[in-house]
Amino acid sequence: MPQVVEIEPLTRERFREFGDVIEIDGNGSYSINGGMADRFHDLAKVQVGGPEGRVLISMVRSRHYELPLIVSAVERHPYGSQAFIPTEQGAFLVVVCLDRQGVPQAPRAFIAQAGQGVNYHSNVWHGVLSPLGNEQDFLVVDRGGLGNNLEEYNFADPYVIGWNTP
């Protein structure tokens, strides 16, 4: 019987052990451009490692997913962090797992509301990008270079995310 995972609101505190929440709300800023703009500085830790590692800036246009979402596999990137920042208003599902000796533990699921992005720290197990409601575009900041930066894990029993989400 698949195990049900409740969806939690995405907050910096709840997500701390998995990575960073990228958002304006709740963060300080400083004035730039002669007072015409405010910079919300250094919101996420970009990690780049491995052979010839370098930072990539890409865009992803993802089709949307429906709830409840069946998660049968997760992935991680050993050589670098991976950030997804929405470029338009919309919610997306963030699924992450703690690791125990190379095996992902039961997932936790968060819903990222409009204005929130996430940065998975290097080697953090996560589900693939999962917009909810409609197709969405994202800015992606992650690691390029040589070597294999993708490790995948298939769960013996899939998880059901958001079974009773209204």
Residue nearest to Ni ion (CB): 82
Q: Which stretch binds ligand UGC (CB under 6 A): 21-29, 90-98, 106-114, 125-133?
A: 125-133
**Residue 87 has what DSSP assignment?**
S
CB of 25 to ligand UGC, least distance (A): 24
Ordered DSSP codes for 55-79: EEEEEEEE--BPSSEEEEEEEE-TT
Q: Per-residue x/- mask for ligand UGC, residues 11 to 50, rule CB under 6 A?
A: ----------------------------------------
Cα distance between residue 12 and residue 21, in whole Å: 5
Q: How far is CA 43 from CA 19, 26, 39, 40, 103, in A?
A: 11, 11, 10, 7, 29
Q: Does 55 bind ligand UGC (CB under 6 A)?
A: no
CB of 127 to ligand UGC, least distance (A): 7
> Residue from 46, 48, 98, 129 that binds ligand UGC (CB under 6 A)?
129
Which residues have C-beta within 8 Å of that of residue 73, sequence separation ≥ 6? Answer: 152, 153, 154, 155
User: Hey, which residues between 58 and 87 contact ligand UGC (CB under 6 A)?
Assistant: 75, 82
User: Hey, which residues between 133 and 152 contact ligand UGC (CB under 6 A)?
Assistant: 140
Radius of gyration of the chain (CA): 16
| Interface with Ni ion (CB under 5 A) | 82
